[in-house]
Structure 1
C-alpha cells in the first residue's frame, strides 16, 4: 500500500511576495506600467484557463497581449517579474515535509500551474528537493477541482485514492478530492502539517505500510 500526501502550492507552500506576503501583482502598475484591471481583462480572463491546462503557451499569449498593456515590457521580463515576486516559500512547512518523508510518507505537489512556473517552482525555488514529484494542471490537461485532475494525480502517484491525502487552501478543491475518494484537509495559514497529519494518523500509517 502506497500512502501519499498531495500538497497544493499557492496559498500553502508559496504565499505571495517574499517581503510581505502580498500578491505578486500589488505594485505591477508602478513597476511595469501594467494596470491590474487591464491585465485581468486582456490576459487572465480570456486566456488563463487555456494556459493553465496546457492548451496555450504562456510566452506566446503574453507576447500577443502585452502591447495592449505596456508596450515597453517584454513577455520574458513580465514572467521574470511575476515569478520572482510570487515566491515567498514557507520554509517551516518544507522542513515538515522533509521530516514526513524521513518517516516514509511520499509527498507530491498537486497544483494548478502552467509549464514554465512548474519548472521554476521545482528548480529555481527548489521545491523538488522536498517532494517526490509534482502533478500539475498543464501536464495533465485538467485543473483542480475537475475530477480528471484527481484521477490523473492518483495514477501518477501510484496510490489508490483512499490512500491519498490532499492539503489545499481552496474549499472547492478539498470537496472535489473527497468526491474522488481521497482524504482531504482544508489548509489554514500558520498550521502545522505534522500536527494535522499526526492527528489523522497519516504519518504513522505510512510507516506501518512502509511508505
Structure 2
C-alpha cells in the first residue's frame, strides 16, 4: 500500500449520475432488435466517444447522416433527447462524495463528457459544482484512458499521483489511472466504494 491518500477523484457517468441511451430511444426506436442494430452500427459508443474527445455535435451528426440519410431524425434524436439519458443521480454515491468534501477532503472530478452536455449536466445536478474542480474531456481534446488526461488533471490541480485515488466504473479507465501512477478503484456500487475507500484509510 502506498502512503496516505490526499486527493480523491471521481468519475461522473455511472458513478454519480445514471446514463442510458436506451431510455429515450425506447420511444424513438420501439423495436428492441432495430434499436440494438442502431446503437451497434449508427450511433455507436465509438462515435459518441469522439464527442467526448471534443468533436462538435453538428460534425458528428453530419458524418452519420451522410452515410445513413434515412436515419437523420433518429441520429439527431441522440443529442436532442440527451437529458433523458441522465434521468437521476446515484444518491448514495453523491452522499459519499459530499461527505468527503464536508470533512475537508480534496475532491475533484475527471470525466469523459462532451463539453456542452456537461454544462447541461451541471445545471441538472448542482452537486457537480461542489468539488474543487473538474477536467472534462470534451473541453481539452483528451479522453480516458489515455495517460495524458490523468497527467494533465494532476498538473492542473496540483495532485501527487501516488497520493491520489480515482473512482471509475470502467476498468479500462481504472487501469489508465494506475498506469499514470495513481491509486484507483473500480466502481460497482456505493457499498463497495465505502469498503474500497476504507481499505485506503478513508472513512465515509
Check whether TM > 0.5: yes
Residue in 2 that maps onto 1:112:
112
**1:1-150 aligned within 5 A:** 3-16=6-19, 23-26=20-23, 28=25, 30-31=27-28, 35-44=35-44, 47-54=47-54, 56-62=55-61, 65-66=64-65, 68=69, 70-72=71-73, 75=76, 78-150=78-150
**Contact 1:114–1:136 (8 Å) recurs in 2:** yes
Separation in structure 2 between the aligned mates of residue 116 and residue 170 of structure 1, nearest angstrom: 22
**Contact 1:52–1:137 (8 Å) recurs in 2:** yes
| Partner SS state of residue 121, structure 2 | helix
- Compare the two structures and name the one with the higher helix fraction: 2
Normalising by structure 1, report the TM-score.
0.77
Residue in 1 that maps onto 2:173:
173
Q: CA RMSD in A?
A: 2.9
Normalising by structure 2, report the TM-score.
0.80
**Contact 2:93–2:190 (8 Å) recurs in 1:** no
Displacement of 1:132: 2.0
Displacement of 1:125: 2.1
Structure 1 110/49 Cα, relative in aligned 2: closer, same or farther at 3 Å? same
**Contact 1:150–1:180 (8 Å) recurs in 2:** yes
| Partner SS state of residue 113, structure 2 | coil
Separation in structure 2 between the aligned mates of residue 74 and residue 183 of structure 1, nearest angstrom: 38
Separation in structure 2 between the aligned mates of residue 7 and residue 43 of structure 1, nearest angstrom: 27
CA deviation profile, 1:125-158 (whole Å, cap 9, x unmatched): 2232332221121223221111011111111221
Gapped regions of structure 2 (runs ≥ 5)? none
- Aligned residues, how many? 196
Gapped regions of structure 1 (runs ≥ 5)? 17-22, 205-211
Structure 1 147/39 Cα, relative in aligned 2: closer, same or farther at 3 Å? same
Structure 1 27/129 Cα, relative in aligned 2: closer, same or farther at 3 Å? closer
Residue in 1 that maps onto 2:187:
187
